[in-house]
Amino acid sequence: MKTDRLPRFALAAALLLATTAALAADRTPSPAGAEVYIASPKDGAKTKGPVTVVFGLKGMGIAPAGIKFDNTGHHHLLIDSDPPADLSQPLPATEKSIHFGKGQTETTVTLPPGKHTLQLVFGDSLHVPHEPAVISKKITITVE
């Protein structure tokens, strides 16, 4: 019995690894050195009124959602939230996870007074983060 149980466990583990690898392989690859960043506002900025957020991108290009083209994608702005733990799924579309599927490179958001975080996640034609994911630094701003 004992000799039979170990191989079964090993087989199950091998299958699990293979499945995980297959899922990861389904994500659109991003080129080495690809980077998204928030060009404006600056981390720690204090602002009044609507905030214009300018998206920066290096090493990749912009394509509208639904258009599949190598090394491209579109921006997603996360407000006061973290990137999803599961990056194999399309990013949610909520008021705190905004898609820019037309290929926009900036937006203006109205935020209540106080501290807020902003972060960009680049997504492929199907709104799924690339592999490896191209995610900006999270910045904090204060709206007065």
The residue among 97 and 143 lying less far from Cu ion, judged by its C-beta, is 97
Range in contact with Cu ion (rule: CB under 5 A) among 1-9, 12-20, 45-53, 124-132: 124-132
Told to check if 73 binds Cu ion by CB under 5 A, we report no
Please state the closest distance from residue 121 (CB atom) to Cu ion, in A. 9
The residue among 51 and 124 lying less far from Cu ion, judged by its C-beta, is 124
Range in contact with Cu ion (rule: CB under 5 A) among 10-18, 23-31, 34-42, 122-130: 122-130
User: How far is residue 51 from each of residues 2, 43, 83, 96, 142, measured CA to CA in Å?
Assistant: 65, 13, 21, 14, 10
Told to check if 123 binds Cu ion by CB under 5 A, we report yes
Quick check: bond before 29 cis, omega within 30?
no
CA dist 22 and 59 (Å) reads 26
Please state the closest distance from residue 41 (CB atom) to Cu ion, in A. 22
Told to check if 127 binds Cu ion by CB under 5 A, we report yes
Range in contact with Cu ion (rule: CB under 5 A) among 34-42, 54-62, 95-103, 107-115: 95-103
Position among 36, 73, 98, 99 found at the interface with Cu ion (CB under 5 A): 99
Told to check if 130 binds Cu ion by CB under 5 A, we report no
CA dist 74 and 33 (Å) reads 17
CA dist 119 and 68 (Å) reads 24
CA dist 105 and 45 (Å) reads 20
Indicate the SS3 state at residue 115: strand
Location of structure tokens 């904090």: 140
Please report, as ranges, the residues that interact with Cu ion according to CB under 5 A: 99, 123, 127
